[in-house]
Amino acid sequence: MDKQWLSQLPISNITKLVRVGGGDVNNAYRLEAGDETYFLLTQPHQPATFYAGEIAGLKDFEKNDILAPRVLGNGQIDGDAYLLLNYLEQGQGSQADLGELVAKLHHVHSKNGQFGYNLGYVSNDESFDNSWTDSWSDLFVNRRLDKLRQMILDKHLWTQRDDDKYQRVRQVILAALAEHQSEPSLLHGDLWGGNYMFLADGQPALIDPAAFYGDREFDLGITTVFGGFDADFYAAYNAAYPLDPGANQRLNFYRLYYLMVHTNKFGSMYKSGADAAMNQILENARA
């Protein structure tokens, strides 16, 4: 990244630029300018609006006292989108505190009583419609699972047999959600182990949100896919915001969703995981 590009950021006197990990989506950098340190995300060949959803989520987190990076700037420079955040120094902390933070997030409910968000979800690999709806099944099954299913089929990653199984699983999910009273909680939307951190003072923080209002079991199901959350996390969460009966079975719906996201994004290496999740959903339905 050249000096001319950096000179167009809304900060001056940049003295140090270091490339850091930013996930599979963004280029990420640690910037030092004077006595301040910043976190810079860039996305080549994208408009500034590429980060609109993440910005909205971070601002909603801040408004509701959920510790997360603060938005300091956003725009486009020489055809590249950027998002400038304050830099959070990493430390160690308590999984129980993290569980309480996520429960606090989920206690924030949409003011209109509906599921959705003011902005859709957009990434390089998929996009989802977050238009407001009274139905969690509509948002989750019709607009997310079904869309992922079509994208996976279009990439020839599923056979007809896989799709037949998905259709049976779909009916199980719809029937179970019809019997469950979902409430529209503010969700992180991508709550895997890489999207939280502990600060230098031990406080937990949430990063890289894909926020929307949905059933809180969505976030919790995602936490179970790749690890990073221990028994203290779940115990503290459940003490602060007890889960409804049958939650353990419904978490498999959201495991399936996340594994389908990864199948669509990364290919057949995640196909067996999605298949196992479908098998578990069908087995639970027969029990």
| CA gap 114, 3 in Å, rounded | 46
CB 87 within 8 Å of CB 98: no
* Best CA proximity match to 10, nearest among 78, 80, 88, 74: 74
Q: Is 215 a catalytic residue?
A: no
Instruction: For residue 170, give the 3-state DSSP assignment.
Output: helix
Q: Classify 20 in phi/psi space as left (phi over 0), alpha (psi -120 to 50) or beta.
A: beta
| CA gap 233, 179 in Å, rounded | 27
Query: Which residue in 60, 80, 190, 219 is the catalytic one?
Result: 190
| CA gap 180, 244 in Å, rounded | 9
What six digits make up the tokens of 183?
């409430």
CB 113 within 8 Å of CB 184: yes
The residues near 21 (Cβ < 8 Å, ≥ 6 apart) are 28
Buried b (16+ CB within 10 A) or exposed e, 117-127: bebebbbeeee
Instruction: For residue 14, give the 3-state DSSP assignment.
Output: strand
Catalytic residues: 190
